[in-house]
Every structure is written in structure tokens, then in C-alpha cells.
Amino acid sequence: MPTLSLVNFNIVCATLGGFITIFGLVSYLLKEKYYLSEALISTIAGLLFSPHAANFIRPLDYADNNPEDLETITLYFTRLVLGVQLVLAGVQLPSKYLWTERKSLAMLVGPGMCMMWITTSLLVWALVPKINFVMAMSIGACVTPTDPILSNSIVKGKFADKNIPRPLQKIIIAESGANDGLGYPFLFLGLYLLKYAGEGGFGQKHIGVGYAMGLWFGETWAYTIVLSVVYGAIVGWVAKELLHWAEERRFVDRESFLVFAITLALFIVGTVGLIGSDDVLACFIAGNVFTWDDWFRVETEDDSLQPTIDMLLNVSVFMWFGAVCPWHKFVDNEAIPIYRLIPLGILVLLLRRLPMVFLFRKQIHQLEDWKQTAFTGWFGPIGVSAIFYLYVSREFLREVMADNHERSDAHHLSEALLVIVWFLCICSIVCHGLSVPVGKLGFHLPRTISMALSSERPSRSPSIARSGPLPLPPRLIDTRIRSSEPSSGTVTPPVVAEQRTIRFPDEEDLRRKTQMERTTC
């Protein structure tokens, strides 16, 4: 007798496959006609399928009901997605792009990132109760990088092709890729200070600001950042040379050639993860060095495999976000009340990036006018990279122990990070995902309403019956004045000729004419 097998694997496959199939049927309509981002749609779908609604996707079940294991799964998932996306982002850039546009990029990822970090940290410090500025620095660091996945979705498609110049598209992609991996120094400055100087370094073998700064320079900058850049450049160059060599000798088939960049991303994520360095930054550097001569980019420019993998990863990760997001924490938490959380979200979206871009506009030659500056300043989304840094932070804070328990300041920061970073991420997905359709609606709606109102107004000009007689204008009336002067001298008044009229043929006249022509024939 047949029995149902309602196991999680079957449910997840049916849910994910069914959603992507249905979404694919209307994807062009949603993305190119209504300008809705797949990130927003996928996040909403994840929420609807989550335990908060339909309960088809059950993240805690997959982690054996262990919240820490669930956070680890989410951390590794974001690492994988970011690694693949950043290699593909590096591959999409033109030849030697990081070098040719080094001035604009240096401005965006140097002073630009610092200003974004400080602005966000000040807003968090002002609005979140019971935290100091060091804690606010850690929270601000998580949302400082612009997300490469959401940025990619903004600068691709019909809207981008019509409204965003190519140079501006490229600099946005390059900035989002570079600053994504450069979030580590901003994050660990606050975390090291909290661990070794917060509460007097209670529970730690080494204490003091000096020790924290030594770790920050040595471990974060030298081992994490510099090593990842060097490693990514070497691996990207070696991979390019090997692929050239294999292609010249026809050792590689077309399928393996097309998927080479994706497998390279997996290799870098794994190897850099093994040595504990910055795999995100290494992937972006490797992708750009891999196409330093533009050969691979040109060869795969018309191929659809990479965009397909890109779409599948995007839909999957944002569905997962919709399912694992702690929605209930936004209104019930120990860190920040909802009446402070909402203004924080609004202010961060408005002030985190927009003033910085306007301030450095003259140093970024891709920004030609104030409209492009406003667009670039507004579209600095918070997404997958923020969730990645969130769980890197929480993993670090669990090790800040005192008397075999998590230290109180570390616990409070961990809770604040969870609520604030997730809320800012959701705000960004919604606001940036709806910006283009709302902007289009605001542009076309007043015109549509105006045209509709003008068409409903009654016409003041008199209607003319096409079949009736039409009097000639006075200037065309043939007035033949007949005058006679009798010998008696009496004057006879002039006689005005009868007014001539024009009669337009009606349907009956046309029908009769047609019948007469047929009879004649």
C-alpha cells in the first residue's frame, strides 16, 4: 500500500523547485516590465514558506534544533554565494580594470568606506540604548560594505541599459566587490577592543588597547587582507595561464571551459578558508586577475551559463534569508525597541552612503551629473555581505568568555547585532528592490492621471453633422447684387442671392454610388 514520505528533503526540493519554476514563467514580466528584483521576490517567498507561515522550509530542523549550528550553516552558505559571485564580478570587469580605475576605486574603498562606517556607527550609538561607541563600531562595520549581489541586480537588465552608463555600471560592480572583502579591518577593530579592553579585559589572558591594536595590524591587516590579496592574485594568474595552455592544445571542452570560473571560486573559498584568511577578497582579486588580458571575458561574453548559476544562487540564498530571518526579534528583543529601530533603518539608508558620494563626486569621474551621483549614493544595498559579517561577529563573540560564560558586554552586543543587522538588511532589500518600480510609477502616474482628466472634459466646439448641410463661411458666400436705377431716381434695395451650402455624402449616398458603379460595369 502506498505511503507518503513527508521528509524534509522531499519538501525542500518540491518547494524550491516549484517556486523557481513558477518564478521562471513570469520572470521577464516581473524583472523587465515591473522592475522587481529577484532578491525581494525570493525573500518574500522564503517568508511565506518559513515556519512563520506555511512551514514548508524548516531551518531549525536541518540544524538538529541547534541555533548555533543554524548560524554556522547560514555563515557557510553566504561564504559560498559571495565567493562565486565575486569571482564572476571580477571576470565581468574589463582588462586591467582595478589598475586603470585605481583612483576612483581608492576614493570609494578608502575615505568612502571610512565615512560610511563612521556615519553608521554614530547613528547606531545615538539610537541604540545601553551600548558604547566600540560596540556601535562593530555594528556599523557589518553594514558598511555594499552588497555585490544586490548591486549586480541593479546594474543589469533593461532599466540599467537604458538609464545607467556603462562606466558607472562597472565602477559600482568593482566597488561592491572590493569593499566586500575589506570589511574585516572595520569589524575586528571594534571586536578586538571589546574583547581585550572592554570591562578591563575581564576573563582574557592578555589585556589592553595595545595588545588589541597589535592583533588588529598583525592578524587582520597582514594575515587576513594582504595574504588574501597575494593569494588571490597568484591563483588567478596561474589559473589563467593553465587555461590558456590547455585551450591552445585543445585539451579542454566547451562545457569545462565555461564552468572554469565557478570551479575556481569553489577552490579559493575552500583553500583560503583552510588557512583562515579572507576568502571573499581573494575571490574578487582572483577573478579580476584571471581576466587581466580580457581573453576569458570576451570568450564567455555571450554565454548564459554564468548568469544562470548567478540567478539560482541569488534565488536560493534570499529564500533562505526569508526563512531564517528572526522576524519576531524586531518587536521583542533586549537590545532596541521598535520605535527606535524603524528610525534607525530610515536614517541609515539615507545617510550611510548618499552624503559620501556627493562629497567625493569630483574625484570619481564616472559621475557625470547630480542624477548619477544621487543614483550611486542611494543604491548602496545591504545584503548577503552584511549577514556574512553578522555571523562572523557572533562566532567571535561566543569565545569572549568569563568564568566559563559569555561575558555580559559580548552577549549584549551579540543580541544587538542580530536584531539591527537583520533589520537593516530587510529594509535594504525592500527599499532598494522597490525603488525603480516606485520611481517609474511616480514618473508616469501624474501624466496618466492628467491625460485621463483632459480626455473626460466636454468639448466646447460645436459638433457638425457630417450628413447635413454645412453653410459656407461669410467670406465664401456668393452674393450677387442686382441693382437697377429707374429714371425716376428711386433706388431698389439689393437682392442677395440665396446662400449656397455644401453637403457631405452620408453612408446611404456612398452605398447608392457603389451600386450604380456595379450596374454600369
Domains and CATH numbers, the chain: 63-451 (1.20.1530.20)
Q: Residue 467: what pLDDT?
A: 46
- Cell numbers for 28: 521577464
Question: Using an 8 Å Cβ cutoff, are 186 and 141 in contact?
Answer: yes
Question: Using an 8 Å Cβ cutoff, are 344 and 124 in contact?
Answer: yes
Share of the chain above pLDDT 90, in %: 71
In 3D space, the residue among 5, 155, 6 whose CA is nearest the CA of residue 93 turns out to be 155
For the chain, what percentages of helix, strand and coil (3-state, to nearest 5) are there?
70, 0, 25
- Cell numbers for 400: 569572549
**Rounded average pLDDT over 85-111:** 94
- Cell numbers for 412: 549584549
Q: What is the pLDDT of residues 419-464, one digit of tens each?
A: 999 999 999 999 999 998 888 787 666 766 777 777 666 544 444 4
Q: Residue 375: what pLDDT?
A: 93
**Rounded average pLDDT over 26-43:** 92
Give the DSSP letter string of 170-219: HHHHHHHHHHHHTHHHHHHHHHHHHHHHGGGGTT-SS-SHHHHHHHIIII
- Radius of gyration, CA atoms only, the chain: 35
CA distances from 421 to 53, 327, 332, 343, 453 (A): 23, 12, 15, 14, 46
pLDDT at 14 over 90: yes
In 3D space, the residue among 189, 29, 24, 48 whose CA is nearest the CA of residue 113 turns out to be 189
pTM (2 decimals)? 0.85
Residue matched to cell numbers 522576524: 327
| Per-residue confidence band for 406, with pLDDT thresholds at 50, 70 and 90 | confident
d(CA 151, CA 370): 20
Q: Residue 158: what pLDDT?
A: 79
Q: What is the pLDDT of residues 158-209, one digit of tens each?
A: 788 888 999 999 999 999 999 998 999 999 999 999 999 887 677 677 788 9
d(CA 259, CA 252): 11
d(CA 142, CA 152): 19
Q: What is the pLDDT of residues 277-335, one digit of tens each?
A: 999 999 999 999 999 999 999 999 888 888 899 899 999 999 999 999 999 999 999 99
| Per-residue confidence band for 466, with pLDDT thresholds at 50, 70 and 90 | very low
| Per-residue confidence band for 155, with pLDDT thresholds at 50, 70 and 90 | confident
Range with the largest mean pLDDT of 151-155, 207-211, 471-475: 207-211
Other beta carbons within 10 angstroms of residue 190's beta carbon come to 27
- Cell numbers for 49: 514558506
Taking the mean position of all CA atoms in its chain, how far away is CA 43? 13
d(CA 348, CA 113): 14
Between residues 86 and 156, the one the model is more confident about: 86
Torsion of CA 284, 285, 289, 292, to 10 degrees: 70
Q: Residue 476: what pLDDT?
A: 45
| Per-residue confidence band for 404, with pLDDT thresholds at 50, 70 and 90 | confident
pLDDT at 92 over 80: yes
d(CA 97, CA 178): 12
Q: Residue 507: what pLDDT?
A: 55
Mean pLDDT of the chain: 87
CA distances from 68 to 50, 62, 109, 192, 392 (A): 18, 12, 32, 22, 12
Residue matched to cell numbers 574603498: 109
| Per-residue confidence band for 381, with pLDDT thresholds at 50, 70 and 90 | very high
Residue matched to cell numbers 566559563: 404
Burial class (CB in 10 A: 0-12, 13-18, 19+), 271: middle
Q: Residue 3: what pLDDT?
A: 84
pLDDT at 101 over 50: yes
| Per-residue confidence band for 513, with pLDDT thresholds at 50, 70 and 90 | low
- Cell numbers for 42: 525570493
